[in-house]
Structure 1
Amino acid sequence: MRHVIALDVGGTGMKAALVGADGTLLYEARRRTGRERGADAVVESILGFAEDLRAHGITHFGEPAEAAGVAVPGIVDAEHGIAVYAANLGWHDVPMRDLLSARLEGVPVALGHDVRTGGLAEGRIGAGKGADRFLFVPLGTGIAGAIGIGGAIEPGAHGSAGEIGHIVVRPDGPPCGCGQRGCLERLASASAVSKAWAEASGDPEADAADCAKAVESGDPRAQEVWQNAVDALADGLLTALTLLDPHTLIIGGGLAEAGETLFTPLRAAVERRIVQFQTLPEIVPAALGDTAGCLGAGLLAWDLVDRNTDRDTDTDHDIDPTEVST
């Protein structure tokens, strides 16, 4: 049975699948990333996981995977297959594509950025399907964005398009790891809400999900924390919407699991900020949840198979000039 390997690497865990030619998930697995063991150990964990997935495919489907797609966080040079930098994994300039291809005995590998890969899946088979321009923004530990234009995800000239988490929305706000103050992800990510609610509630174990529940129960402290995050998010999104003018704004990540507790005030906050010349986009929840990155990695792999097939077909149709008679 034809299949590819799909692997989504996160800061704490890895999600993987063997994906059939029709998009069916033939096998799924998860493992811890183990970043506390250091960058080299993380890379070896990725390679070992991919190797085990290849073996599973051979054992259960009678043939090896035709390609592999892997999504990783941080700065990614997809063209050259290099994981350039990831602060939460501690690596620099890892030739991930070559390492994986070698471990998989020559199987072609496509490397992608985790959020842009998730955006690819949301655009093709998720909440952005049919939208010619969309912005996918997952609200997790941090905040990033994927810009969908005409069925493709825009990488930018240097591979960092969509990094809206580092738009400064509160110049006098808390310091960010990027060196600025008041970045969007320091105020409106799931981790930022968790921190703010832990402080406001006096419970160091409280998180964003707890805050959402307290909002729903009418706790005024939670409502203030939540609204502060929503307002910061709306300010950051307005900048992105002004620049990109998308038809659809897709919100995903852990914070989006709050449902209308998030979406009702967020839609209202964005609408209040829209000016006369702008058009309010449809603001919708992501459809694929935490599987978006893995599904997107599978799409990257199948795209690679299709390109290689097309290239082989073109080669087959090349005319050998020595065979042309006059």
Structure 2
Amino acid sequence: MRHVIALDVGGTGMKAALVGADGALLHEARRRTGRERGADAVIESILDFAAELRAYGELKYGQRAEAAGVAVPGIVDTERGIALFAANLGWENVPLRDLLHERLGIPVALGHDVRTGGLAEGRIGAGRGADRFLFLPLGTGIAGAIGIDGVIEPGAHGSAGEIGHIVVRPGGTPCGCRQRGCLERYASASAVTEAWAEASGDPDADAADCAKAVESGDPRAVAVWQHAIDALADGLVTAVTLLDPRTLIIGGGLAEAGETLFTPLRAAVEERITFQSLPAIVPAALGDTAGRLGAGLLAWDLLEAEGRRPEAEAGPDGPDAPGTDAHVPTQSTEVTA
């Protein structure tokens, strides 16, 4: 069974998969990032996790993974394979691609987590067929992936789409990026969790609990939720002004609230629009599999670029060509919590 390793590293946890040549998630696993232990420990956890996935694939399928795709947060130099900076993980200038190649002995593609998720959403998800879109997952932090004609824009220095660090509240809450008042300090899932835990007096309460309390009419929750919605709408209108996307795709943990998020968000954005064209605001289609699927696409695309895929699976008209249904995820054969 031909497969690649796909690893999606987040600020809180890592989600991984072995991905078949047809895009199927053959095996899935999760692990905590452990960022509280420091950047060096996080790096070692990534290397160990990837090695365990390689070993599992060898044992299960009788052959090792052919490549690995790894998506990480922050600012990423995909050409050199360096994780330049991640406020959520506390690292700078990590040669992660080389470190993984040394540990695994296979080709490695390194990508930005959100742009990698955007690649999957654009190819097979909510952005499929859209000529210009912005993919925005609301998780531990906030970043964006800018999709233009099927290509995810990396920017000149690897930091395109870092909308989470647009200042929406000048002089406001300090951010890990060393600014104050950044969007992600008000509208990320972690920001809502922090605000709701304080407002409710329950230190274990999270953003999902806040959404449920909003639905039940709790005025404290409504105030916290609206505070986040207002900040998010301010940030989105800035993005719309600069990028003029046709579609805004909202994903991440906060989007799981469904219309509790989308109804007031659409209204708040529309209230702020003046001369700009109002884009469609839609939920992401792939959920938390987007990063893994995108990382898998990175790995298979790397092999294709190196001419290492059989003719039956490669080429612009082959069954695995980018943008075809061959990459639509299928039922996982194994899931490991």
Fold-level similarity (TM above 0.5): yes
**Secondary structure at the residue paired with 1:11?**
coil
1:82 maps to a residue whose letter is: I
CA distance in 2, matches of 1:137, 1:60: 36
CA distance in 1, matches of 2:309, 2:255: 41
Deviation of residue 38 (structure 1)? 3.0
Q: Determine if the alignment matches structure 1 residue 307 to structure 2 residue 305.
A: yes
- Which string of whole-angstrom CA distances, capped at 9 and with x for unpartnered residues, describes residues 84-117 of structure 1? 2223333322211111112222x11100111111
CA distance in 2, matches of 1:295, 1:312: 21
- Which string of whole-angstrom CA distances, capped at 9 and with x for unpartnered residues, describes residues 192-237 of structure 1? 2222222322333322212111111112222122112111111110
**Residue equivalent to 1:164:** 163
Structure ranking higher on relative contact order (CA contacts 8 Å, 6+ apart) = 2
2:90 maps to a residue whose letter is: G
Decide which structure has the larger Cα Rg and report it: 1
Size of the aligned set, in residue pairs, is 311
**Residue equivalent to 1:72:** 72
TM-score, with length taken from structure 2: 0.87
Deviation of residue 40 (structure 1)? 2.6
Mark the CA change 1:205 to 1:51 in structure 2 (over 3 Å): closer, same or farther.
closer
- Gaps spanning 5+ residues in structure 1: where? 314-326
- Single out whichever of 194-203 and 2-11 deviates more from structure 2: 194-203
Deviation of residue 311 (structure 1)? 11
1:294 maps to a residue whose letter is: R
Q: Determine if the alignment matches structure 1 residue 247 to structure 2 residue 246.
A: yes
**Secondary structure at the residue paired with 2:15?**
strand
1:206 maps to a residue whose letter is: A
Percent identity over the alignment is 82
CA distance in 2, matches of 1:215, 1:254: 16
Matching of residues 40-119 of structure 1 within 5 Å: 40-105=40-105, 107-119=106-118
Mark the CA change 1:43 to 1:268 in structure 2 (over 3 Å): closer, same or farther.
same
**Secondary structure at the residue paired with 1:159?**
coil
CA distance in 1, matches of 2:191, 2:17: 31
Contact 2:303 2:309 in 1 (8 A): no
**Secondary structure at the residue paired with 1:127?**
coil
**Residue equivalent to 2:278:** 280
**Residue equivalent to 2:183:** 184
- Gaps spanning 5+ residues in structure 2: where? 312-337
Among candidates 296, 309, 315, match of residue 294 of structure 2: 296
Query: Over the residues paired in the alignment, what is the CA RMSD in angstroms?
Result: 1.9
**Residue equivalent to 2:129:** 130
CA distance in 2, matches of 1:16, 1:225: 33
**Residue equivalent to 2:201:** 202
Deviation of residue 172 (structure 1)? 4.3
- Which string of whole-angstrom CA distances, capped at 9 and with x for unpartnered residues, describes residues 233-275 of structure 1? 1111000011111111011111111110000000111111122
**Secondary structure at the residue paired with 2:70?**
strand
TM-score, with length taken from structure 1: 0.90
Deviation of residue 42 (structure 1)? 2.2
Q: Determine if the alignment matches structure 1 residue 261 to structure 2 residue 260.
A: yes
1:295 maps to a residue whose letter is: L
CA distance in 1, matches of 2:89, 2:166: 23
- Which string of whole-angstrom CA distances, capped at 9 and with x for unpartnered residues, describes residues 294-323 of structure 1? 11100100110110018999xxxxxxxxxx
CA distance in 1, matches of 2:92, 2:142: 21
Deviation of residue 31 (structure 1)? 1.9
- Single out whichever of 143-152 and 82-91 deviates more from structure 2: 82-91
2:80 maps to a residue whose letter is: H
CA distance in 2, matches of 1:152, 1:215: 37
**Residue equivalent to 2:173:** 174
**Secondary structure at the residue paired with 1:309?**
coil
Contact 2:87 2:176 in 1 (8 A): no
CA distance in 2, matches of 1:190, 1:46: 23
